Amino acid sequence: MESKRIALLIDCDNVSPAYIGGVLDELAKYGIVNVRHAHGNWSSPQLAGWVEKIHPFAIRPMQQFAFTKGKNATDSAMIIDAMDLLYSKNVDAFALMTSDSDFTPLVLRLLESGLPVYGFGEKKTPKPFVDACSLFIYTENLVGEDQEKVCEGEVSPPSKRTRSDLRNDAPLVRLLRTATEKTVDDGGWSHLSQVGQYIRNNSSFSAVNYGYRTLGDLIRASELFDIDMRHGGTAMFIKAARRTNSVSVAHSDASPAL
């Protein structure tokens, strides 16, 4: 568990309030969310769902009127808020809850300052924003305090990728194999924590997007690697599983020539 001070900035115009509980649960892995700002025009009936989340989740509403019809003033206000927080030096990381790719330059600027950026958005989120984040999780894969709404059809339960799905996902397999090869020790094994660190340094990957709680759970499900649990079962080491030689040998009934 990490202890970063995280600033969560929410673009209420572009994400559903149904997932805020899951987002906060996920961020608890990385630190304390000491800043929780929700940006939007709170006089708009479209934010009624977010109004119900303000007090239960200790979120500070940031009012931004729409000065011009058709223009999203929320984006600018949220960017200014992020830069103010950056220069205050009171946070160690940012979390942006939005499905808007217009925030991609902001992500790049925050990364240049040495702060990680955790992204949370719906599956419609454009890929440039997804790839720019240190870690990105699709909110549809997060079901927190609103899990009861699954039965009502408001929130779809996260789908878990099967063994076949994982093994047929070429970019995922390549990422896992590369991370394992780059962190291998003299004995041919890779410590899972080092594998995970390599992946975090090189992509916005999250096991949650594949329906698994942790990278270790995904590794087990894929069956792509041999697993060795050490130190009383608390440390996982992995290496590429041996491929079975399935080449069949044809036998002739004729006696070999002498």
The 10s digit of each residue's pLDDT in 188-203 is: 999 999 999 999 888 8
**Beta-carbon count within 10 A of 132 CB:** 20
CB 100 within 8 A of CB 129: yes
What pLDDT does residue 145 have?
46
β-bridge partners, 229: 236
For every residue of 108-170, DSSP letters joined together read HHHHHTT--EEEEE-TTS-HHHHHHSSEEEEGGG---TTGGGGTTTSSPPPPPPPHHHHHT-H
Question: Residue 148 corresponds to which amino acid?
Answer: E
What pLDDT does residue 219 have?
95
Distance CA 68, CA 253 (A): 87
Distance CA 76, CA 96 (A): 14
What pLDDT does residue 74 have?
80
What pLDDT does residue 252 have?
40
What pLDDT does residue 156 have?
55
Q: Which residues, other chains included, contact 17 with Cβ-Cβ below 8 Å and sequence gap of 6+? A: 49, 50, 52, 53
What pLDDT does residue 69 have?
53
Closest CA to 72 of 120, 119, 8, 13: 13
pTM value is: 0.78
Residue 94 has φ and ψ, to the nearest 5°, of -120, 150
For every residue of 200-255, DSSP letters joined together read HHH----GGGGT-SSHHHHHHHHT-EEEEEETTTTEEEEEEPPPP--------SSP
SS3 2: coil
What pLDDT does residue 66 have?
64
β-bridge partners, 95: 8, 118
Superfamily of domain 4-150: 5'-nuclease (3.40.50.1010)
The 10s digit of each residue's pLDDT in 129-161 is: 999 999 999 999 986 544 444 434 455 556 789
SS3 62: strand
Say which DSSP state 184 is in: B
Is the C-alpha dihedral spanning 130, 131, 137, 138 positive or negative?
Answer: positive
Distance CA 94, CA 232 (A): 35
Q: Could you give the residue range(s) of every CATH 3.30.420.610 domain in the chain?
A: 163-240
CB 34 within 8 A of CB 107: no
Distance CA 120, CA 3 (A): 20
Residues of the chain with pLDDT under 70: 1-2, 65-72, 143-158, 243-258
Identify the residue whose tokens are 């927080």. 85
What pLDDT does residue 143 have?
64
Topology of domain 163-240 in CATH is Nucleotidyltransferase; domain 5 (3.30.420)
Q: Could you give the residue range(s) of every CATH 3.40.50.1010 domain in the chain?
A: 4-150
